[in-house]
Chains A and B, each alone.
Chain A
Amino acid sequence: MNAIPQRCWEEVADGEDLAGFSLELTRTRMALQVSGTQDFYPIHHDTAFARGAGHEDIFINTGFIRACLCRVLTDWIGAEGFVRRLAFQMRTPNLVGETITARGRVTQKGPEGRVELEVWIENAGKGVTAPGSATVTLPSRR
């Protein structure tokens, strides 16, 4: 197994940005969404169904959004960190054909390895579509 960098609580600074990542929501990505979440509700893969429900087109589901937000955290905390909480809102649909970026930022270092963060999904054409917050714990260097 490849070695994973381990971040320690002492290394964290308020306002620190976490490395984010971008995904283009191609038709193939939408198929991966259904495979990965096993969410077969047609609003996420059937354009006619989505439009019939009053939406512009198919859009990514809750499972996909939270997976992206959680990956921002798990990419950062290393093997000894633990994700304690993740909360998010889905304010605007992220449609097929659009590009999203998942990001995070430290908002506050707490006691006992605790770190509070904001996490969010940005859409290239719409701004922040899914704002959220999270709590993780990190090991101490000592």
Chain B
Amino acid sequence: MAYDVKAVKREWEGHETELQWGRYPVEHEPIRRHCHMIDDANPLFIEAGRCPPVMVDFFASRGPWPAGEFDILGLIRRIPTPGDRLINLNQEFEWFLPVRVGDRLGVRHKVVSIHQRATRLDPLSVWIRTETTIVNIREDMVARRSNQILIHRTPEEIATGVSRS
């Protein structure tokens, strides 16, 4: 059966997850690992306990283990698509409040739009735009993020005409 993008759009566009709190508060150790990754020796992060702006969604998520909702992946995986390989094409972040070690953060994700458009990777590629809202313990908005995700099949699946949905 052909992939019915209109039915998927009807079911999923506008879908919003409930507010979910990060498993742990903002901590020094993940900040140190983040800074190590890119040779960032900024003492505001590795000594003074400020959270690098781009880490707020990490601390608002449940993390990769124990298994659970990790950022938008759980939501994306529930949306029917021909393939299951995904690429993040672009991202935009806006920040409204600073975050420090000890703060607790929560998150909501929303499916903004779903389209099907061919790419060089897969003629049945699906494009999903999401919006993520991150809040502090008072539920004040700390940051807002949008992502453009591309979902595609493997070359093997394309060659054999396999579609998961």
Contact = CB atoms under 8 A, between A and B. Distances in A.
Interface in A7-63: 21, 23, 29, 32-33, 35-41, 43, 52-54, 61-63
Contact of A36 (B36, B45, B86, B90): B36
Given A38-B58, A71-B38, A53 B43 contact: no
Contact of B42 (A53, A68, A74): A74
A33 B37 contact: yes
A63 B55 CA distance: 9
A53 to B, nearest CB: 5
A35 B37 contact: yes
Nearest to A75: B42
Contacts of B43: 1-2, 4
A94 to B, nearest CB: 13
**Contact count band on A:** 35 or more
B91 A35 contact: no
Interface in B99-137: 121
B53 A43 contact: no
B18 interface: no
A117 to B, nearest CB: 14
Given A37-B34, A38-B63, A66 B39 contact: no
A31 B33 CA distance: 11
A109 B98 CA distance: 22
A34 B74 CA distance: 19
A41 B91 CA distance: 18
B84 to A, nearest CB: 10
Contact of A85 (B33, B42, B86, B92): B92
Contact of B53 (A36, A52, A86): A86
A85 to B, nearest CB: 5
A70 B88 contact: no
Interface in B54-77: 54, 58, 63-64
Q: Lowest 6 CB-CB distances: which A-B pairs, in order?
A: A36-B37, A87-B92, A89-B90, A62-B88, A32-B37, A1-B43
16 contacts: A23-B38, A29-B37, A38-B63, A38-B64, A53-B152, A62-B91, A63-B58, A67-B40, A74-B45, A74-B53, A79-B44, A82-B98, A83-B95, A86-B54, A86-B92, A89-B90
